[in-house]
């Protein structure tokens, strides 16, 4: 198992008499504005010590074992968690600041903490989301069949204008593949959500998935009145890499 844990240089919240995690957010709060976004003209400090202009919450959803945690770790740390099965332990949420059109967008990406395993995800998890990445595993038919059920749950509890993106993960596993790319595209079309295939193992389209979501959210939040709408699916189609093409 290649999973290693280490302390980052930055603080730990284990000091008994203080709660640095809360204190660290101090900087963020000072320049925060009423509607949840942080004012662009006043950069703020994120938990990890990075400055950002605007912040969003992104939630990962999908069956157990489709690679939600792997996708998160690949995006955040550029690493891949090998091993036959990693049930989520200890991953709560992670922050990453992306640079989008000269603006620093912080994504706070939340993992299900394993509560999806027996379909017991708390409602608050969906409700707080600005964007939801809905994953299935291309080597696992039932994870694909369950997408519909997840969407029902999302529509019941999430905000109505939440950004949803469908991801077919483990696209590198060509031999074990059961769900065809076209099937994913068809399903996405049916529900009117953007779609791409990803691989947390090779990194295929992982960065793109999060970047696309960040672009869409940033665009929505700061839209000038007569600016044209950001076309998420078009952007994705243009930037997307096919399976086996290259390792981004």
Partner 1 sequence: MAAEDLPSQFDVVILGTGLTESVIAAACSRVGQSVLHLDRRNYYAGNWASFTFNGLLSWIEEYKNQQELQITESEQEWRSLIEDGEEAVPLNSVDSSISNLEVFCYASEEEEQEEETKDLLTCPNAETVSEETNSDSTETQDTVTSDDVTESNVKVQNEENEDSAPKEQLHASDISEHSQSVEEKQPNRSPADPPAELQKKITYQKLLKEGRRFNIDLVSKLMYSRGALVDLLIKSNVSRYAEFKNIGRILTCRNGKVEQVPCSRADVFASKQLTVVEKRMLMKFLTFCLDFEQHPEEYQDYSEKPFSEFLKNKKLTENLQDFVLLSIAMVTQQTLTEEGLKATQHFLRCLGRYGNTPFLFPLYGLGEIPQCFCRMCAVFGGIYCLRHSVQCLVVDKESNKVKAVIDTRGQKIGCSHFVVEDSYIREEQRESIDYRQISRAVLITDRSVLPSESDQQISLVTVPPVESSGPAVRMVELCSSSMTCMPGTCLVHLTCSSSGTAQQDLAPVVSQLFHIPTTPGEDPSEGTGEISKPAVLWVMYFNMRDTSAMDSSCYSLPSNVHVCTGPDAGLGSDYSIKLAESVFHCLLPDEEFCPPAPNPEDIIYDGDAPQAEGRGFDESNDTEANKSQAEEEGTTNETNPENSEAAEMDSVAQETTLDTNPPSEE
Residue tagged 């691989």 (tokens): 199
Q: Which is nearer to partner 1, 56 or 195 (CB)?
A: 56
Please give the residues from 72 up to 111 whose contact with partner 1 meets the rule CB under 8 A.
73, 76-87, 89-95
Beta-strand pair 54-62/44-45 = unpaired
Please give the residues from 135 up to 174 whose contact with partner 1 meets the rule CB under 8 A.
139-140, 142-143, 146, 149, 155-156, 159-161, 170, 172-173
Please give the residues from 168 up to 227 whose contact with partner 1 meets the rule CB under 8 A.
170, 172-173, 176, 201, 221
Task: Dihedral sign for Cα 58, 203, 71, 95, please.
Answer: negative
| Residue 43 burial (C-beta neighbours within 10 Å; 0-12, 13-18, 19+) | middle
Q: Which is nearer to partner 1, 146 or 239 (CB)?
A: 146
Least Å from the CB of residue 14 to partner 1: 4
Rounded to whole angstroms, how far apart are CA atoms 30 and 22?
A: 13
Residue tagged 């198992």 (tokens): 1
Least Å from the CB of residue 196 to partner 1: 18
Contact at 8 Å (CB) between 60 and 133?
yes
Q: Quick one: which of 130, 215, 219, 241 contacts partner 1 (CB under 8 A)?
A: 130
Q: Is 57 in a helix, a strand, or coil?
A: strand
Task: Dihedral sign for Cα 153, 155, 159, 164, please.
Answer: positive
Q: Confirm or reject binding of residue 10 to partner 1 (CB under 8 A).
A: yes
Q: Which is nearer to partner 1, 63 or 195 (CB)?
A: 63
Q: x/- contact string, 31-70, with partner 1 (CB under 8 A)?
A: -xxxxxxx--------xx------xxx-----xxx-----
């Amino acid at each position: 198992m290649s999973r290693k844990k280490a302390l980052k240089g930055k603080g730990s919240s284990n000091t008994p008499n203080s709660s640095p995690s809360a204190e660290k957010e101090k900087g963020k709060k000072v320049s925060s504005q009423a509607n949840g976004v942080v004012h662009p003209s006043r950069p703020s400090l994120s938990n990890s010590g990075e400055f950002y202009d605007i912040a969003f919450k992104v939630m990962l959803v999908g069956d157990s074992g489709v690679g939600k945690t792997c996708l998160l770790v690949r995006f955040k740390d550029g690493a891949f968690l090998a091993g036959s099965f990693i049930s989520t332990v200890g991953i709560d949420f992670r922050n990453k600041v992306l640079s989008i059109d000269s603006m620093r967008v912080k994504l706070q990406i939340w993992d299900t903490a394993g509560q999806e395993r027996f379909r017991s995800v708390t409602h608050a998890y969906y409700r707080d989301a600005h964007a939801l990445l809905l994953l299935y595993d291309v080597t696992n038919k039932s994870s694909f069949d369950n997408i519909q059920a997840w969407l029902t749950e999302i529509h019941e509890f999430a905000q109505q204008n939440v950004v949803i993106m469908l991801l077919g993960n483990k696209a590198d596993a060509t031999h074990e593949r059961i769900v065809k790319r076209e099937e994913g595209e068809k399903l996405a079309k049916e529900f009117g959500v953007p779609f791409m295939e990803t691989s947390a193992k090779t990194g295929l389209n992982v960065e793109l998935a999060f970047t696309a979501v960040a672009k869409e959210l940033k665009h929505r939040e700061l839209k000038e009145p007569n600016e044209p709408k950001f076309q998420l699916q078009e952007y994705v189609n243009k930037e997307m890499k096919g399976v086996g093409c290259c390792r981004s």
